[in-house]
Structure 1
């Protein structure tokens, strides 16, 4: 029986994964973007409303709730427009001073188009770099390695503010693009973004980038 279980486990590990797992602090919430989105939004908003101080002026509470819901739904809608799988946001204040982190993690998946002969011969690492550099980010820091046994390329750069796209401030971004085991055309992408304390290269940004790298060290594929 033990031998059969090991054989079944080995077969399962060679098949494409059915999901993934990340370990995040309780201050962060997951918003699925393909199903169950509205339920997650309502749950998060209701929890946020419950933290409004009882002594808050009643004439301020209604507008505050409306603005909070508007901004939150805008962030979710933007992630859905980018064909995201999941969006992670810090929904509770951090620390004794109640500091709110300006950060997010967007999980997406990309499938390579039908490849010509030359692309089919390209090593996976080269394809990953091409995927990460296709939007023309300048001065990006690229490195490669493995995440849970799969090829991964990490890109870090600063994205300029683009007010016309709703991005009012520059942000520090770190992306992991990971080859999906058992399916060479699929790539998993986890993209972290933060405005830090107002400067994408300040100490808070540096600390959050290190934190995200630690989060990605907890990444595991799910099978079955």
Structure 2
């Protein structure tokens, strides 16, 4: 019959246009390339509405200024990394505004040494990408997230007051190959100071929580 197709039908998969992470309401997204100021103002204004109504006026002003200083400082530091999005827990349990944890989302290209070698194993490429910052002694593992290769790295970053890190932090990074685009890698980096020590019970619980977040990570497709 004219127009009848009897051969195999190729299923076209829409290209990846973004990502989706399921986070509780306590966490807020700050886009770092567009709409940053609008997000900052919205988050701060919301935080101000949760201040005690009977708080002394002479304490409200200094509290707001310190809150904004810390929050803007965290955002500015994230912007220096050329990342895409920053997620912060702006409504933690107990009603206190805290910056004790964060998730930084970015994108990274292939290392130059690997661009010309199509035979390089994807997992090896991911490890190369993670090793660019010189972190040693990290725990590495690999698997799949939403059908894409993922490499997980976990380590403790020591305190560095000169860089604004007053406490040591526990860090977990996932680097995920973007489906259909072998030159692009998605990176989600989680950091927490826990209850003041990178190996305390709160840190352990938050790392488990972030692993669960990434287990439910999904791509957005056009």
TM-score normalised to the size of structure 2? Answer: 0.91
Which position in structure 2 is the counterpart of 1:94?
93
> What displacement does 1:115 show?
4.8
CA RMSD of the aligned region, Å?
1.8
Deviates more, 1:47-56 or 1:100-109: 100-109
Mapped partners of 2:170, 2:113: distance in 1: 32
Which position in structure 1 is the counterpart of 2:13?
12
Aligned length: 214
Decide which structure has greater helix share: 1
Partners of 1:93 and 1:101 within 8 A in 2: no
Which position in structure 2 is the counterpart of 1:189?
187
Which position in structure 2 is the counterpart of 1:43?
42
User: Deviations along 1:97-127, whole A, 9 cap, x unmatched?
Assistant: 7584610000000012555676432111001
Partners of 2:27 and 2:88 within 8 A in 1: yes
Partners of 1:86 and 1:108 within 8 A in 2: yes
Secondary structure at the aligned position of 2:37 is classed as helix
Q: Are residues 1:70 and 2:91 paired?
A: no
Matches within 5 A, 1:1-224: 10-13=11-14, 15=15, 17-95=16-94, 100=98, 102-115=100-113, 119-224=117-222
Gaps of 5+ in 2: 1-8
Which position in structure 1 is the counterpart of 2:3?
none
* Structure with the greater alpha carbon radius of gyration: 2
User: Deviations along 1:65-92, whole A, 9 cap, x unmatched?
Assistant: 1110011011001111001100000001
Q: Which runs of 4+ in 1 moved over 2 A?
A: 97-101, 113-121
